[in-house]
Amino acid sequence: MRKKVIAGNWKMNKLPNDAIEFITELTPLVKNSENEVVLCVPYTDLFYSLLHAQDTNIKIGAQNMHFEERGAYTGEVSGEMLKSIGVEYVIIGHSERRAYYNETDETVNKKLKKALSLGLKPIVCVGETLSQRENGLAKDVVITQTKLALQGLKNEEVEKIIIAYEPIWSISTISTGKTATKEDANEAIKWIRKEIEKIYGSEVSENVIIQYGGSVKSGNAKDLFEMSDIDGGLVGGASLDAQEFAKIVNYNV
Ligand code: 13P
């Protein structure tokens, strides 16, 4: 049985004091959850969040990292730096980074390899735009992104990765007015799982955790997460409120 991983992606929100308050409020609400609870916070919140999440079941992640260990990369943060303060998870290749910061399939692949070599748990994002979906290209796009992200990885490495299927058109801040149905989400995740099975075999494809992301809220979490292939979610807007996020984490209690 694959574990459900419910990860919040705060994006560029919350100051350290907000993060501390949030974790203090969330801790008792999720302490009995059998699901993995992760908060991917801004760099400036990482240290405070790690301190305040100590001795809780809340894991802390970053939202990006560089693939080089050090050097003349002004403004960047390396995986080694994340690891050195105790960060466990890192989001790689979020659609916002692909769209606004020239993140490519190649850099996603390099970052993934680096994160795995350091023992960080990567959450790799893939997903199509609305026009790609409307033109019948969703499956191709998602499979290509997945294959390129995982290129050159060994079976045991692929098993350690979390993939987040995030159809860009379904992200709450994109305002296409559309959201993926649980059937859309499950179908796309099955495409990904099938492709992983083709390349890495059925044991790997059965074990790899594939989340859904895009307008996940307390009102739809149960429906989504009970689908056969959806192993939890990567939650944006709804992860900014501790009560709301706790309801998503506790969708099955
Ligand atoms: P929303 O949950 O706000 O739609 O954001 C999804 C997302 O981008 C999470 O990484």
If you measure from the C-alpha of residue 153 to the centroid of ligand 1, how many angstroms do you get, rounded to a whole number? 27
Ligand 1 atom closest to 237 (CA): 3
DSSP codes joined into one string, the chain: -PPPEEEEE--S---HHHHHHHHHHHHHHHTT-SSEEEEE--HHHHHHHHHHHTTSSEEEEES--BSSSSSS-TT--BHHHHHHHT--EEEES-HHHHHHS---HHHHHHHHHHHHHHT-EEEEEE---HHHHHTT-HHHHHHHHHHHHHTT--HHHHTT-EEEE--GGGSTTT--S----HHHHHHHHHHHHHHHHHHH-HHHHHH-EEEEESS--TTTHHHHHTSTT--EEEESGGGSSHHHHHHHHTTT-
pLDDT (tens digit per residue) in 53-62 = 999 999 999 9
Q: Which two tokens stand for residue 46?
A: 């990482």
Helices 16-30 & 242-249 angle (0-180, nearest 10): 40
- Which one of 5, 6, 11, 91 would you pick to mutate in the ligand 1 pocket, going by the greatest count of ligand atoms within 8 A of its CB? 11
pLDDT at residue 185 is higher than 80: yes
pLDDT greater than 90 at residue 246: yes
**Phi, psi (rounded to 5 degrees) for 34:** -85, -5
* Nearest Cα residue to atom 2 of ligand 1: 236
- Pocket of ligand 1 from Cβ distances under 6 Å: 9, 94, 166, 171-173, 213-216, 234-238
Please report the pLDDT score of residue 177 as a whole number: 79
For residue 54, give Cα distances in angstroms to 42, 205, 212: 18, 32, 27
Positions annotated as catalytic residues are 94, 166
Say how far apart CA 45 and CA 192 lie, in whole Å: 32
Amino acid 173: pLDDT: 87
Average pLDDT, the chain: 97
Q: What is the pLDDT of residues 61-88, one digit of tens each?
A: 999 999 999 999 999 999 999 999 999 9
Which domains does the chain show, CATH number per domain? 5-249 (3.20.20.70)
Residue 157 confidence (pLDDT) above 80: yes
Tokens of 124: 């790799």
Find out whether 122 and 116 touch, Cβ atoms under 8 Å. yes
Q: What pairing do the DSSP bridges indicate for beta strands 209-213 and 121-126?
A: unpaired
Per-residue pLDDT band for 178 (boundaries 50, 70, 90) equals: confident
**What is the CA(237)–ligand 1 centre distance, in A?**
6
From 173, 174, 218, 244, mutation site for ligand 1 pocket: most ligand atoms within 8 A of C-beta: 173
**pLDDT tens digits along 129-144:** 999 999 999 999 999 9
pLDDT, residue 174, reads 82
Res. 179 pLDDT band, cuts 50 70 90? confident
Ligand 1 atom nearest to 213, measured from its CA = 6
Q: Which of 123, 171, 176, 220, when mutated, tests ligand 1's pocket best, judged by the most ligand atoms within 8 Å of its CB?
A: 171
pLDDT of the residue at 73 = 98
Q: What percent of the chain has pLDDT over 90?
A: 96
Average pLDDT over residues 204-214: 97
Residue nearest to atom 1 of ligand 1 (CA): 236
| pLDDT number for residue 175 | 72
**Is the model's pTM score more than 0.85?**
yes
